[in-house]
Homo-oligomer: A and B are copies of this chain.
């Protein structure tokens, strides 16, 4: 595995060489933003590396509280819970929701963190076909007993396939069952899609319930997000009403029994949220770049979808062939990922291209050109 020797960005140093970089999850290009780095460095000198205690001890510090305030505002909610890693957000919500559902229905290609998080609820789990609301409806009809309440768990945006879960269709199914719930891991949606950049629910116009803890009509909508990807910092985030967030914090041992995100991480996350909030044009740049890349790939005869998701999966022949293409691009100084094995992908693997707001049109054209040479 190569060694990353710079911040990830449109140009990234891997094993001593500078590459045009189309990988990872830094979709808005903030992980190397000078203001983000300065915020991290300044805060560590002011507040130390960490509080070395939990939030219920003496561990509240200004950067942590600033993240929660800024994240709440970003997601259009009153309050937020900021915790060590987006990975555990599904466990936090599954534990919270545990007494509010009887059977979970899980997208068959859901991320590891969704599967593992759901296990914390200790309820029966039925999988349904990937992004297939008809199969969801059939599975719920077949497996839910009268009076039982269903929960749908899924990624909002799938990390390798780039698919967006068809939430309105899922919500129609859930609306048939009193107490039906939908809970998303929106790690790759938050910051990247939706008019306000709030992620998958926002993308589908479910803006009345962008966070957990509110209900849009008959269906309860919950999601956990991350600051580690488009939003340019690190750590998990759940937003909602102040009352609900207080309850959620009281219910989760990630609040009272785990380290909170370190000081430089929290300070960087707060600054990145400030930048994203003040510069909505970053999202437009991202979407313009995604459009340019997908249009170009389509003209080359490759199959791409038509969404603003900055993850572009390509399946081009065998695994060996994709491995050859990836290595050839690396020799040309362009880094994309050949993902051999990951949640949601088939046995041959796939090529994964990540688009950033900070890629220039010329960079994208160069990728398209070199890829065309290597098909």
Give chain A's interface residues, CB within 8 Å of chain B: 1-9, 12, 14, 21, 23-26, 30-32, 36-37, 40-41, 44-53, 55-62, 65, 84-88, 91, 111-113, 116, 119-120, 122, 226, 228-229, 232-234, 253-254, 256-259, 262, 264-265, 268, 335, 337, 342-343
Instruction: Tell me which residues across on chain B come within 8 A of A120, comparing CB atoms.
Output: 116, 119
In the complex, which of the residues B31, B62, B84, B229 contacts A84, with contact meaning CB atoms closer than 8 Å?
B84
A14–B58 CB distance below 8 A: yes
B45–A37 CB distance below 8 A: yes
User: Do A268 and B40 form a contact, CB below 8 Å, given A2-B58, A58-B14?
Assistant: no
Q: In the complex, what's the smallest C-beta–C-beta distance from A46 to chain B, in angstroms?
A: 8
Instruction: Tell me which residues across on chain B come within 8 A of A254, comparing CB atoms.
Output: 87
A49–B7 CB distance below 8 A: yes
Instruction: Tell me which residues across on chain B come within 8 A of A229, comparing CB atoms.
Output: 52
Interface centre among A116, A119, A256 (most CB of B within 10 A): A116
User: Do A50 and B228 form a contact, CB below 8 Å, given A57-B24, A257-B112, A342-B257?
Assistant: yes
> Which chain B residue has the least Cβ–Cβ distance from A55?
B1
> Which chain B residue has the least Cβ–Cβ distance from A41?
B41
Please give 14 more A-B residue pairs, beta carbons under 8 A apart, in addition to A9-B48, A41-B44.
Answer: A1-B55, A3-B65, A4-B60, A7-B48, A12-B58, A21-B58, A23-B53, A24-B53, A40-B40, A44-B268, A50-B228, A84-B84, A112-B257, A257-B342
- Listed A/B pairs (20) with beta-carbon separation below 8 Å: A3-B61, A5-B62, A6-B47, A6-B48, A7-B47, A8-B51, A21-B58, A24-B53, A24-B58, A30-B49, A31-B49, A44-B264, A49-B234, A58-B337, A87-B88, A112-B257, A116-B253, A228-B259, A262-B264, A262-B265
Is the contact region of chain A dominated by helix, strand, or loop, or is it mixed?
loop
Count copies of this chain in the complex: 2
Taken together as a complex, chains A and B put the C-alpha atoms of A49 and B47 apart, in Å, by: 17
B48–A31 CB distance below 8 A: yes
Taken together as a complex, chains A and B put the C-alpha atoms of A4 and B64 apart, in Å, by: 10
A62–B3 CB distance below 8 A: yes
Taken together as a complex, chains A and B put the C-alpha atoms of A57 and B160 apart, in Å, by: 12
Instruction: Tell me which residues across on chain B come within 8 A of A59, comparing CB atoms.
Output: 4, 24
Minimum-distance CB pairs A-B, first 8: A7-B48, A24-B53, A112-B253, A41-B41, A26-B52, A264-B264, A87-B258, A32-B48
Instruction: Tell me which residues across on chain B come within 8 A of A264, comparing CB atoms.
Output: 40-41, 44, 49, 262, 264-265
In the complex, which of the residues B61, B113, B234 contacts A262, with contact meaning CB atoms closer than 8 Å?
B234
Q: In the complex, what's the smallest C-beta–C-beta distance from A83 to chain B, in angstroms?
A: 9
Taken together as a complex, chains A and B put the C-alpha atoms of A9 and B48 apart, in Å, by: 9
B85–A268 CB distance below 8 A: no
> Which chain B residue has the least Cβ–Cβ distance from A12?
B58
Taken together as a complex, chains A and B put the C-alpha atoms of A12 and B53 apart, in Å, by: 13
Instruction: Tell me which residues across on chain B come within 8 A of A265, comparing CB atoms.
Output: 49, 262, 264-265
Instruction: Tell me which residues across on chain B come within 8 A of A119, comparing CB atoms.
Output: 119-120, 122
Taken together as a complex, chains A and B put the C-alpha atoms of A1 and B87 apart, in Å, by: 27
